[in-house]
Amino acid sequence: MTYLVVAAHPDDEVLGAGATLAKLASEGNTVIACFLSGEVTARRYRPELAKLRKDIISSSRILGIKQVILGNFPNIQFNTIPHLAMVQFIEQVILDTEAEIIFTHHPSDLNNDHLHTSLACQAAIRLFQRKDGILPVKELLFMEIPSSTEWSLNKSVHPFTPNVYIETREEFLTKKLQALTEYSGVMRDYPHPRSQVAIKGLAAYRGAQAGMVYAESFESVFRREI
């Protein structure tokens, strides 16, 4: 099975699905990460570009991500980009990777780039309906990003409502935390939601909701097969 995570920025893939991606890779699945803003130039604590690229590679190796695809859409300016350009970029990634199951952002995330990534990804997965000979995507899942998804203050938008829980066990939760520490300037001290204590606590909370020790939760919004 080929899994693709379409994320706005490097580190979002780990925050939202890192333990799950590590688990899937360990089971022999192909895991691919696509970052629409590969350089995140507006990030406050972003290291030099060469260091950021090394961080991406080292984090991906910990999780078992086979391939990384970098876009060059401007950080925190996705609202200035034509929607079609982002949709077509993601469509090409889906074609090139033959992705079967896709993770992306929830559209109610506070981060504007997350919103536009989600909208573009939702449009892109319909490619098989518009073009013959395309492998249909089997499932689209929204992930939750600590420090963004819980800040969905606009209550007119459907909030993140998990309906899929993937047991990660401490083994893969540890890999998630290790992968996050590879990104310079991302982690914070507790009680920030991007602290190790908070991330482990969220995994315990999501796990408890589904009768597991540790879990990551997702919202499945499109599924073609049982």
Domain map (residue ranges) of the chain: 2-223
Residue 149 has pLDDT above 70, yes or no: yes
Instruction: Tell me the whole-structure pTM to 2 decimals.
Output: 0.96
3-state secondary structure the chain: CEEEEEECCCCHHHHHHHHHHHHHHHCCCEEEEEECECCCCCCCCCCCHHHHHHHHHHHHHHHCCCEEEECECCCCCHHHCCHHHHHHHHHHHHHHHCCCEEEEECCCCCCHHHHHHHHHHHHHCCHHHHCCCCCCCCEEEEECCCCCHHHCCCCCCCCCCCCEEEECHHHHHHHHHHHHHCCCCCCCCCCCCCCHHHHHHHHHHHHHHCCCCCEEEEEEEEECCC
Contact 210, 219 (CB under 8 A): no
Interval 68-85: pLDDT, tens: 999 999 999 999 999 999
CATH class in words for 2-223: alpha beta
Sheet with 2-7: strands ordered across: 67-70, 30-35, 2-7, 101-105, 139-143, 215-223, 164-167
pLDDT band at 43 (very low <50, low <70, confident <90, very high): low
How crowded is the C-beta side of 77, counted as CA atoms within 13 Å? 12
pLDDT of residue 222: 97
pLDDT band at 42 (very low <50, low <70, confident <90, very high): low
Q: What are phi and psi of 160, to 5 degrees?
A: -60, 125
Alpha carbons 174 and 197: distance in angstroms, whole number: 12
pLDDT of residue 44: 67
Alpha carbons 72 and 83: distance in angstroms, whole number: 14
Residue 185 has pLDDT above 90, yes or no: no
Interval 156-170: pLDDT, tens: 889 999 999 999 999
Alpha carbons 3 and 25: distance in angstroms, whole number: 9
